[in-house]
Amino acid sequence: MTVAIYPGSFDPVTLGHLSVLKRAAQLFDELHVLVVHNPDKNARFSAPEREALLRESISELGISGRITVSSLTEGLMVEAAKRLNAHAIVKGFRTAGDIEYEIPMAQVNRDLSGIETVFLASEPGYGYVSSSLVKQVASLGGDVSSYVTKTVLSALS
Amino acid sequence: MTVAIYPGSFDPVTLGHLSVLKRAAQLFDELHVLVVHNPDKNARFSAPEREALLRESISELGISGRITVSSLTEGLMVEAAKRLNAHAIVKGFRTAGDIEYEIPMAQVNRDLSGIETVFLASEPGYGYVSSSLVKQVASLGGDVSSYVTKTVLSALS
Amino acid sequence: MTVAIYPGSFDPVTLGHLSVLKRAAQLFDELHVLVVHNPDKNARFSAPEREALLRESISELGISGRITVSSLTEGLMVEAAKRLNAHAIVKGFRTAGDIEYEIPMAQVNRDLSGIETVFLASEPGYGYVSSSLVKQVASLGGDVSSYVTKTVLSALS
Amino acid sequence: MTVAIYPGSFDPVTLGHLSVLKRAAQLFDELHVLVVHNPDKNARFSAPEREALLRESISELGISGRITVSSLTEGLMVEAAKRLNAHAIVKGFRTAGDIEYEIPMAQVNRDLSGIETVFLASEPGYGYVSSSLVKQVASLGGDVSSYVTKTVLSALS
Amino acid sequence: MTVAIYPGSFDPVTLGHLSVLKRAAQLFDELHVLVVHNPDKNARFSAPEREALLRESISELGISGRITVSSLTEGLMVEAAKRLNAHAIVKGFRTAGDIEYEIPMAQVNRDLSGIETVFLASEPGYGYVSSSLVKQVASLGGDVSSYVTKTVLSALS
Amino acid sequence: MTVAIYPGSFDPVTLGHLSVLKRAAQLFDELHVLVVHNPDKNARFSAPEREALLRESISELGISGRITVSSLTEGLMVEAAKRLNAHAIVKGFRTAGDIEYEIPMAQVNRDLSGIETVFLASEPGYGYVSSSLVKQVASLGGDVSSYVTKTVLSALS
């Protein structure tokens, strides 16, 4: 049985994230979605809120598979991955630039834990959607309904 | 059970390829390595020779797992992937530039077959090794023993 | 009145090209589509065939505007652009990598003619479609109907 | 008549910006330069100051065309663009990396407003000039006279 | 006699930095390592601490050559370089993305001082090591002993 | 004494190459320019012609320093570099994309010979000039006098 972890800020989850999540859930026997809270960033939602938005969005889109959602409360993400017996860390990417940023992290994570990072390309229609762009547009009154679930849309308004 | 395909020219297989192969064999229940012969390129080895070098190199390094090696003789790679009931196509990448080149192919392959491409980053020490560089250096008398197996080294000399 | 030229190989025209063409036709008062025949490349269609496929595809999609289609038969593309009194050269791009390749050409074209190059990003759904990928997939029997017009689809089969 | 908007921080305007501005003013019948104030960034000049520096720099360089300068005081930039009946948003870029950053914004802006973004490459001699580098060098006593107008040079000292 | 300067934050120095330092010390007759303190960034070590860690790490690894270590206390880095009669500024880079960020700085530094920047690629095994990643992993209790000297490892714990 | 080698196709040498050459000649005590003939490429000039154009262009621009020009007639470039007692290989680069292509070669060259590659950025005004663009424009009757010396301009016409 192959177990994967899908870590991210998910502040909030977008349709881009959910497309990656859905496809990863088909590739692995168990998928653990892990909300990582970066205290340096200005957060729009708390970790429990992000978890709830993830769970409701997964349900809203009818994504199936053995999926759990939790938060990383302390320590290294790869330590949590080891506790969950993960074989792989899933990362979505939109452009080559995203990847350039992720490669060093992936190498360090393998050094620390032996766990591989597998990269999945965004679906074309979601290639430009990011949480930060969604938050920025929503905060200025723009329509973000094409980028997030109804659940998230309500939470943002 | 999750089945993956690892397509490539492998002309010849390098230690970079074998590192991806080994790690992919741990992530998936079955891994089919597929030699794709691009008639436009000047080949150094025939498809059967590349298959043999792959099989012997896998054995030389003691890579374990349910691994098969075959060649794509005609038609689309994704058609072969469907016949093998593959859920994923594995691609190694060395730099962000490699990925940029692979993204369109990955999107088209998903359109044609529904099969996802998962990208694995090269291990740091192999990040600059490519079949074409190996062939170029070897043809000019340079030492490529750090980039290929002993099997391939013999075949090149 | 602002006149623009949209040069390309168009071997054959894709829905990605046609999306750029349609949007450029709305930004400029006159748009001259120019088929550039690169003798170094293996062509699938002759210049007159590519022109015909462009005209029929523009008509099939009902793209409106003052649009002409012709071929560059000799000399520099910017010389043709000057004869057409063009103020701008339109280039579509899919990724940052495409742009990197086009920048030197754009600078040289400005040096030679004073004509600016304006870059339009691909629409997300077409960001991975290229003539060469279309030809490759079609030649191996794959379905390219999502990437080209019906006109081009017939011509390819 | 084709109307374009040229948005930016312009904190302060550089010769790189003014080169893009001048060339855009030749491509479009009307060009609205829009100072966008990002409250997250440490600003060196207030929005009215940046407007004044833009107007005086345009005059200093003798840039002609139907050009207006104003500030975005609230809401989305594309809402301002719609109020100004803009058909195009102009963005200058220096490298492929700049573009990678701008593509998602351009796609979202088209989703929100139907307005296209057109990208103009920096002139070679200005390809490395940015407001932030100008501010950094000037604050440490370096000579920035090759990167900004005399107007801006005075304001910085 | 050719003199070079190797500027950086070195907060703290990594094995990646030390690999560049060692190789630069062989290319130039004199190498001045310059600790640049960026007040905008959250520093882990003070400038004198970083200098000490550099000196002890150079000694720990037995790096030879005419090497000095000092800090930039005020003004432009190129002014310090001129005072040291430097002919070259050395910069290490890990990926093409690093370079893209450094090019404008290199051009401005040449404008200001006539001093060239020479870029050295990271050694493959250090291509993903950065001070910020080291600090992040260490602060979360991860093992960074493969990325820094013993001297730095003690200082981090 | 530090010796460097500056290898390239130089088919023909451009002002971009000569800018790198001039700056490298100031950084190193001895600079050996090495014409590398790639038989796969369609050459415009023979190796002896390229050497002559280099020598005359160096003289035309009055570039000073201990500079030699020769051709690589057989074997690996790094073998020639070793015979010349070179400590460094000089490479100019125009964009991050150029670097991405050169990094693997640089790593392999260090593996084979212990010789470092140092990268120098193009001067901004030459950042888009390449031999291939020069040949293409010149063959179509365009004016390339801003990109090459008078010597090369005569040879091209």
Q: Which helix (H) or strand (E) holds A15?
A: helix A15-27
Token pair listed for B133: 């560089």
- For residue F153 the two structure tokens come to 């301009």
Q: With contacts defined as CB-CB under 8 Å, which chain F residues touch C111?
A: 146
The Cα D7–Cα D50 span in angstroms is 12
Q: Can you tell me the distance from the alpha carbon of B110 to that of E55, in angstroms, rounded to the nearest whole number?
A: 54
Strands F3-8, C3-8: pairing is unpaired
What pairs with residue A90 in β-bridges? A118
pLDDT confidence bin for E11, thresholds 50/70/90: very high
Sequence letter at residue B145: S
Contacts of D151 (CB under 8 A, 6+ apart): D53, D56, D57, D60
**How buried is E1 (Cβ within 10 angstroms: 0-12 exposed, 13-18 middle, 19+ buried)?**
exposed
Q: Are E29 and E2 in contact (CB under 8 A)?
A: yes
Confidence grade of residue B3 (pLDDT, cut at 50, 70, 90): very high
Write the secondary structure of chain C as one string of H (helix), E (strand) and C (coil).
Answer: CCEEEEEECCCCCCHHHHHHHHHHHHHCCEEEEEEECCCCCCCCCCHHHHHHHHHHHHHHCCCCCCEEEEEECCCCHHHHHHHCCCCEEEEEECCHHHHHHHHHHHHHHHHHHCCEEEEEECCHHHCCCCHHHHHHHHHCCCCCCCCCCHHHHHHHC
User: For residue A97, is pLDDT > 80?
Assistant: no
Please identify which of the residues C41, C66, C83, C150 carries the catalytic annotation: C41
Which helix (H) or strand (E) is D155 found in, with range? Answer: helix D150-156
Closest CA in chain B for residue A101: B96
Asked if the model's pLDDT at residue E47 lies above 80, the reply is yes
Per the omega criterion (within 30 degrees of 0), is the bond before F12 cis? yes
Residue F80 has pLDDT above 90, yes or no: yes
Tell whether D29 lies on the interface with C, counting CB pairs under 8 A.
Answer: yes
Residue C151 or F123, more confident: C151
Q: What is the pLDDT of residue C124?
A: 81
Is the model's pLDDT at A40 over the cut of 80?
A: no
- CA D112 to chain A, closest CA, distance in angstroms equals 7
Confidence of residue F74 (pLDDT cuts 50, 70, 90): confident
Nearest by CB to residue B75, choosing from C96, C97, C141, is C141
Contacts of D126 in chain F (CB under 8 A): 124
> What is the DSSP pairing of strand E116-121 with strand F116-121?
antiparallel
Tell which wins on pLDDT, F133 or E97.
F133
Among the options C37, C94, C113, C130, which is catalytic? Answer: C94
Element at E25 (helix H, strand E): helix E15-27
pLDDT classification of E41: cutoffs 50, 70, 90: low
Amino acid letter for position D64: S
Q: What distance in Å separates the CA atoms of residue B64 and residue E73, rounded to the nearest whole number? A: 57
Strand duo C30-36 + C67-72: pairing: parallel
- pLDDT per residue as tens, chain D (157 positions): 899 999 999 999 999 999 999 999 999 999 999 999 877 667 999 999 999 999 999 999 999 999 999 999 889 999 999 999 999 999 999 877 788 888 889 999 999 999 999 999 888 877 788 999 999 999 999 999 999 999 999 999 8
Q: Report d(CA B151, CA B149) in Å as an integer.
A: 5
For position F72, what pLDDT does the model report?
Answer: 94
The CATH number of B3-156 is 3.40.50.620
Give me the pLDDT at residue A41, please: 67
Confidence of residue F78 (pLDDT cuts 50, 70, 90): very high
Mutate to test the interface with D, among E40, E41, E73, E76 (most CBs of D within 10 A): E76
For residue A66, which amino acid is it?
R
Q: How far is A157 from chain C (nearest CA, A)?
A: 26
Residue E25 and residue E23: Cα distance in Å, rounded? 5
Distances (CA, A) of D151 to A56, D57, D156: 56, 6, 9
At D27, the amino acid letter reads L
Write the Ramachandran bin of D53: left for phi over 0, alpha for psi from -120 to 50, otherwise beta. Answer: alpha
Higher-confidence residue of F63 and E99: namely F63
User: What is the helix (H) or strand (E) element at residue F93, kind and residue range?
Assistant: strand F88-93
Average pLDDT over residues F110-123: 93
pLDDT at E154: 97
Q: Give E114-150 pLDDT, tens digit per residue.
A: 999 999 988 888 778 899 999 999 999 999 999 999 9
Chain D residues lying within 8 Å of F127, measured CB to CB: 124, 127
User: What pTM was computed for the model?
Assistant: 0.93
Per-residue model confidence (pLDDT) at position B41: 67
Task: List, by residue number, the catalytic residues of A.
Answer: 17, 41, 94, 131
- E127: helix, strand or coil: coil
Mean pLDDT confidence for C40-67: 93
Q: How far is CA C100 from CA E140, F3, F122, in A?
A: 39, 33, 15
Question: Going by C-beta distance under 8 Å and a sequence separation of 6 or more, which residues neighbour residue B116?
Answer: A23, A26, A27, A120, B87, B88, B89, B110
| 8-state DSSP, B123 | P
Q: Which strands sit side by side in the sheet containing C116-121, from one edge to the other?
A: C67-72, C30-36, C3-8, C88-93, C116-121, D116-121, D88-93, D3-8, D30-36, D67-72
Q: Is B111 strand, coil or helix?
A: helix
d(CA D135, CA D127): 16
Instruction: Collect all residues of chain D within an 8 Å Cβ-Cβ radius of residue E79.
Output: 141
Using CA atoms, how far residue D19 sits from B43, C100, D72, D106, D129, in Å, is 49, 20, 22, 21, 11
Flag whether residue A143 sits within 8 Å of chain D, measured between CB atoms. Answer: yes
Q: How many other CB atoms are found less than 10 A from the CB of residue F111?
A: 18
**Cα–Cα distance for residue pair A99/F107, rounded to 1 Å:** 21
- F127 close to F95: Cβ distance less than 8 angstroms: yes
Residue D133 tokens, joined = 């580098």
DSSP H or E stretch at residue A83: helix A77-83
Q: What is the ipTM of this complex?
A: 0.92
Map tokens 């930060």 to a residue.
A132
Nearest beta carbon to residue B104 from set C96, C130, C146: C130
- Please report residues of A whose CB lies closer than 8 A to that of B124: 107
Counting Cβ atoms within 10 Å, is residue C73 exposed (0-12), middle (13-18) or buried (19+)? Answer: exposed
**Cβ-contact F31, F66 below 8 angstroms:** yes
Please report where in the chains the tokens 């001895």 appear, as a residue: F30
> In 3-state terms, what secondary structure has residue D71?
strand
Q: Considering only the beta carbons, identify the residue of E128, E137, E142 that sits closest to A103.
A: E128
Strands (E), chain D: 3-8, 30-36, 67-72, 88-93, 116-121
How far apart CA C127 and CA C14 sit, in angstroms, is 11
pLDDT at position C125 is 80
Residues pairing with F70 in the sheet: F34
> What distance in Å separates residue B97's CA from the closest CA in chain C?
8
pLDDT at B112 over 70: yes
* pLDDT class of B103 with cuts at 50, 70, 90: confident
**Would you call F128 an interface residue with chain D, using a CB distance cutoff of 8 Å?**
yes
d(CA C74, CA C7): 14
User: Which of D91, A123, A131 is CA-nearest to residue C127?
Assistant: A123
